[in-house]
Amino acid sequence: MKPSEFAHIVDVALLPSAIKADQLAGQTVVVVDVLRATTTIVNALHNGCQQIFPQPGIEEARDCHAKMPDTSVIGGERNGKIVDGFHQGNSPLEYTAEAISGKSLILATTNGTVAMESCRAADRVLIGAMINVSAVAKELTSVPRVTVVCSGTDRLITSEDVIFAGLLTERILELREQAGAEPTKLTDPATIAMHHWRTRKAEMDSGMELADFFRNCRGGINLVRIGHDADVQFASQIDLHDRVPELDLKSWSIA
Indicate the residue whose CB is closest to ligand L3UKIRZJ.
109
Of 27, 72, 110, 132, the one binding ligand L3UKIRZJ by CB under 6 A: 110
The minimum distance between CB 141 and ligand L3UKIRZJ, in angstroms, equals: 28
Q: HSE (CB half, 13 Å, CA atoms) of 233?
A: 5
Piece of 3-11, 23-31, 104-112, 196-204 that binds ligand L3UKIRZJ (CB under 6 A): 104-112
**Does 220 engage in binding with ligand L3UKIRZJ (CB under 6 A)?**
no
The minimum distance between CB 111 and ligand L3UKIRZJ, in angstroms, equals: 3
In the complex with ligand L3UKIRZJ, the residue whose CB is nearer, 35 or 186, is 35
The minimum distance between CB 110 and ligand L3UKIRZJ, in angstroms, equals: 4
In the complex with ligand L3UKIRZJ, the residue whose CB is nearer, 92 or 189, is 92
- Are β-strands 246-248 and 124-128 bridged in parallel, bridged antiparallel, or unpaired? antiparallel
Identify whether the C-beta of residue 35 lies closer than 8 Å to the C-beta of residue 214.
yes
Site for ligand L3UKIRZJ in 20-59 (CB under 6 A): 33, 35-37
In the complex with ligand L3UKIRZJ, the residue whose CB is nearer, 127 or 223, is 223
**Does 178 engage in binding with ligand L3UKIRZJ (CB under 6 A)?**
no
Of 111, 159, 169, 236, the one binding ligand L3UKIRZJ by CB under 6 A: 111
CA distances from 15 to 116, 148, 154, 158, 232 (A): 11, 10, 10, 9, 20
In the complex with ligand L3UKIRZJ, the residue whose CB is nearer, 9 or 18, is 18
In the complex with ligand L3UKIRZJ, the residue whose CB is nearer, 90 or 236, is 90
If 0-12 CB within 10 Å is exposed, 13-18 middle and 19+ buried, where does residue 80 land?
A: buried
In the complex with ligand L3UKIRZJ, the residue whose CB is nearer, 10 or 133, is 133
Of 223, 232, 247, 254, the one binding ligand L3UKIRZJ by CB under 6 A: 223
Give, in degrees to the nearest 5, the angle at Cα 244 between 124 and 205.
120
Residues in the interface with ligand L3UKIRZJ (CB under 6 A) total 17
Integer Cα distance of 170 and 191 in angstroms: 10
Cα 6 vs. chain centroid, distance in angstroms?
26
Nearest to 221, CA basis, from 38, 32, 80, 76: 80
Which positions touch ligand L3UKIRZJ (CB under 6 A)?
A: 33, 35-37, 77, 79-80, 90, 109-112, 151, 153, 219, 222-223
